[in-house]
Structure 1
């Protein structure tokens, strides 16, 4: 008689993270991906927090709210899965990861932001031997203590490239799709499924320097086009054409679902996370939230109602232009307010009423731009102020791309490749007054009335290019 085999429970491991996201007063949020279901605990001195992982598409995630941090401190922290320490790695040559808190919201302590965008991948994943990209280099400078640690890292789009993956990811796609005829018309070298999206984040965020930086500096993010596809939502004709592709429904649903999990969830403050309707549904279905996220991704990326003759576009069925879900967000750091705008997903593409933000979201933005703070920083994945010549050129291109003029071959984007976006022939954007000066020094500006800030500045694509990505740049207010 054979002995009964013993069931060996495999312990959970850290796959990606920890990623330090928001630090709000004496609380902080830490995001992780794990290899199996687990109880995730983050301990930072006397402060601590705990959360159960949720499962989606066969992957396991958690976002932990750490409570009771000391104001004005820099506290090393530890991550435990089911009681076993998994971070920091005792073999790591890097300094300890810490959670830094500000002295208090009412102080005149300067605010330091670092921002950048368009990080394609690492030097190890490219066919060319290139020096470290700017984010890697910044991480190394921070490790030496030569650079003052910022309050926030602001990533303004293209954190991953679904349409331009690295050679390593292309090999993964070929291996994974070999022998499967489920997606014969899918782009050969582009990601489509959620599982393929996870490979992009795994490759980029497991880079040792980036992993340390993300574990040490709070970060917020917003998508641009390459999280989905080049020139995403550039025009009504573009959307009409791309929605005819058989692989597109899975691509847009997977791209937005993975963006919500890997990037957007951490943009929210602790109280906002608890109140987020998608998070509530995910936690309620924690054993397997795949269907919740698939339905969500489909709803927010659905076919465009703003295009005549097509119903639904991720907006409420009443047709009032209100998005089903708001990706834009705002946060306060001392006397500085940061507002980060969704310039991609919620665009109004009706050729006669084009707008970068739908009416309700524009009203929200205008409200966020007023308040009892000294400095306003607006984050955008796109340039919002262009020379008139560029604007008119793009408007001309938009009209040609949307016409049936013979001699113009169809293209996947419905327009010439571009990263900016003109208002076209007509555009609806409520006018609002905003401050014109920009902060240039670490000295706080004098207090203003509650109706307007003393300074206003915009952080946007592009930042100066580096070897493999655009450089992070400091901004002090």
Structure 2
């Protein structure tokens, strides 16, 4: 019997989930992982969706698509497995999980952030990692009316750390890899390796199975599990889903591709991301058109489904233009749409040192189309651009990244300087939009085109994470008047993974005005032109765990900034401030 499965005389149970994923005015999707094959049923609002689970790598999943729901409704729901109620759990102390279909009242509350390390919630873990912002958010929601809840949650990368798991999971991985070594030792030919490179990275995730351990650890904490069951979520991957600095440069990638463990890691990362995160980002219409999902439903056996998924996963990395991880969602109301376009700024990069791009041409064309083309019969009243990596950084880091790209390309100061710049680029994570200048310029051009449209949006808001500090920045396009359109960078990181004190000090040194001006001069000497846009930080930076909540009401937008902290042994949110996102 596979690990985690129960004897057949007992009813099936949920291993993970339910996760409420996509919700619009009349439909919703709910994702579950179960302990065995079964018939999963979702009941809400007098409607039901039924799906038999499909299996890959010995794990069993269903994504239930419920349609025909009333708009602007609050609908408690339940999940049944083989006819037996599995959710809500009998001992659940938190409020009932609900589906809240979209209201057409031109309002939205969107909570977001990134970078959440899995760790315990005992006194030692709280001292080491601080309070978990998602646990604190769930605690706040549990006693608040639905009107004060987020309407959606955007998880902007690094939900899991394949290269730096929790201490508990690291110990489990090392033990599993030692067992693999011992097994292989008995059948190893002289001079031949069978361990797939596990010995090189004994405390890191190796394959699909071990990725499931990461998700189990991240999403099973009771408060977080309830939060994800009752707030629709959209997600995007970032480097720690695979490995720190993933696709930073061509040199980094060439080095990784020589590692014995690389293929299994890549295949496990993309296959598990597709199952656990990506599918739920899609609308029911997009799900109906997904060829890999169709294969999961129509293929009879686990082995064939696993092969189809693994081949797809490897191909998406080897040939990035064969898959698209970017996606969009529409919120808001009739006549004033709120569109979220989430940009994959990690997988589709072009890494040629002389022609780097954050997003390849095919992906960028898709981004432009969905950022600039309104939904049918509406206009884009607020354009939200989700990108794990901030575009508008503190000034010193921006100039440092521009300098590093120019010098690392060999064009500026020759091969020796290029070699040093490349190592600096990887050592201190110089990989944001400013380090891909051609893509930064494309993004600024997108902003210009949006504000110059016949009916420009009231706001363009960039939602980011990654950098383990949080701030808001007001952006102004030079040479373009946009008095009716507010442009802001909103960066929220981490949910739970505070920056080390030494790194925080380094950031503060880089932003010291004399140092920042020096990097600007060096960037100009390296041939980096000034940018046709200006920005300044208005709030922050903060270096604490927390969460931001974007609030839109008609043409107005504000952002609530909360810090997660431990008070009297409880993980709670403390308000740092509320900022009006005006032009």
TM-score, normalised on structure 2? 0.70
Question: How many Å separate the matches in 2 of 1:363 and 1:352?
Answer: 21
Report what 2:468 is aligned to: none
CA RMSD of aligned residues (A): 2.9
- Relative to structure 1, is the Cα distance of residues 433 and 408 closer, same or farther in structure 2, using a 3 angstrom cutoff? closer
Preserved CA contact (<8 Å) 1:22 1:220: yes
- Relative to structure 1, is the Cα distance of residues 363 and 406 closer, same or farther in structure 2, using a 3 angstrom cutoff? closer
- Alignment of 1:128 with 2:203, yes or no, is no
Give, in angstroms, the shift of residue 80 of structure 1: 0.4
Preserved CA contact (<8 Å) 1:242 1:412: no
Report what 1:350 is aligned to: 352
Q: 1:473 aligns with which of 509, 534, 548?
A: 548
- Relative to structure 1, is the Cα distance of residues 55 and 125 closer, same or farther in structure 2, using a 3 angstrom cutoff? farther
Report what 1:296 is aligned to: 312
Give, in angstroms, the shift of residue 405 of structure 1: 4.1
Preserved CA contact (<8 Å) 2:113 2:494: no
- Relative to structure 1, is the Cα distance of residues 76 and 387 closer, same or farther in structure 2, using a 3 angstrom cutoff? closer
Deviates more, 1:198-207 or 1:109-118: 109-118
- Relative to structure 1, is the Cα distance of residues 134 and 8 closer, same or farther in structure 2, using a 3 angstrom cutoff? closer
Report what 1:377 is aligned to: 384
Give, in angstroms, the shift of residue 8 of structure 1: 4.7
- List per-residue Cα deviations over 1:195-237 (Å, max 9, x = no partner): 1110010011000000000000000000111111111100111
- Alignment of 1:189 with 2:188, yes or no, is no
- List per-residue Cα deviations over 1:326-383 (Å, max 9, x = no partner): 0000110022000000000001111121111111221221121221221111111001
- Relative to structure 1, is the Cα distance of residues 392 and 51 closer, same or farther in structure 2, using a 3 angstrom cutoff? same
Give, in angstroms, the shift of residue 123 of structure 1: 2.9
- List per-residue Cα deviations over 1:361-419 (Å, max 9, x = no partner): 21221121221221111111001123554234234445676787499799999721316
5+ long unaligned stretches in structure 1 = 1-6, 303-313, 316-322, 439-447
- Relative to structure 1, is the Cα distance of residues 77 and 167 closer, same or farther in structure 2, using a 3 angstrom cutoff? same
Preserved CA contact (<8 Å) 2:177 2:198: no
Question: How many Å separate the matches in 1 of 2:423 and 2:163?
Answer: 12
- Relative to structure 1, is the Cα distance of residues 354 and 451 closer, same or farther in structure 2, using a 3 angstrom cutoff? farther
Question: How many Å separate the matches in 1 of 2:404 and 2:307?
Answer: 39
Alignment of 1:254-403 (within 5 A): 254-285=268-299, 287-288=301-302, 289-302=305-318, 314-315=319-320, 323-334=321-332, 335-370=337-372, 371=374, 372-387=379-394, 389-398=396-405
Report what 2:447 is aligned to: 434
Q: 1:417 aligns with which of 408, 428, 435?
A: 428
Give, in angstroms, the shift of residue 174 of structure 1: 2.1
- Relative to structure 1, is the Cα distance of residues 29 and 286 closer, same or farther in structure 2, using a 3 angstrom cutoff? farther
Partner SS state of residue 79, structure 1: strand
Report what 1:240 is aligned to: 254
Preserved CA contact (<8 Å) 1:331 1:338: yes
Partner SS state of residue 434, structure 1: helix
- Relative to structure 1, is the Cα distance of residues 412 and 63 closer, same or farther in structure 2, using a 3 angstrom cutoff? farther
Moved runs in structure 1, 4+ residues, more than 6 A? 399-404, 406-414, 435-438
- Relative to structure 1, is the Cα distance of residues 383 and 414 closer, same or farther in structure 2, using a 3 angstrom cutoff? closer
Deviates more, 1:390-399 or 1:161-170: 390-399
Report what 2:139 is aligned to: 140
Partner SS state of residue 418, structure 1: coil
Preserved CA contact (<8 Å) 1:395 1:422: no
- Relative to structure 1, is the Cα distance of residues 284 and 417 closer, same or farther in structure 2, using a 3 angstrom cutoff? farther
- List per-residue Cα deviations over 1:82-117 (Å, max 9, x = no partner): 1111000121111110111123xxx33311111011
TM-score, normalised on structure 1? 0.85
Question: How many Å separate the matches in 2 of 1:369 and 1:218?
Answer: 21
Report what 1:308 is aligned to: none
- Relative to structure 1, is the Cα distance of residues 123 and 217 closer, same or farther in structure 2, using a 3 angstrom cutoff? same
Report what 2:485 is aligned to: none
Question: How many Å separate the matches in 1 of 2:124 and 2:217?
Answer: 15
Preserved CA contact (<8 Å) 2:316 2:323: yes
Preserved CA contact (<8 Å) 2:198 2:206: no
Partner SS state of residue 353, structure 1: coil
Question: How many Å separate the matches in 2 of 1:85 and 1:74?
Answer: 20
Preserved CA contact (<8 Å) 1:437 1:455: no
Give, in angstroms, the shift of residue 10 of structure 1: 4.7
Q: 1:453 aligns with which of 429, 454, 457?
A: 457
Question: How many Å separate the matches in 2 of 1:167 and 1:126?
Answer: 15
Question: How many Å separate the matches in 2 of 1:292 and 1:412?
Answer: 37
